[in-house]
Amino acid sequence: MEKQKLLKPHSSDWFEVLEKTDPQQAAMTRQVLSRAGRDDICSVCGDDPAADYEVAGAPPPSTMRLCDDCRDIRSGMHGEKFSPLQN
pLDDT, one tens digit per residue, over 53-62 is 999 999 999 9
> Which residues are CB-neighbours of 63 under 8 A, at least 6 positions away?
6, 7, 8, 9, 14, 52, 53, 54, 55, 85
Predicted pLDDT of residue 87: 63
Task: Give residue 2's pLDDT band: very low, low, confident or very high (50, 70, 90).
Answer: very low
pLDDT of the residue at 86: 81
Please say if the pLDDT value at position 1 is more than 90. Answer: no
- Reported pTM: 0.90
Roughly how many angstroms between the first and final C-alpha of the chain, as a whole number? 22
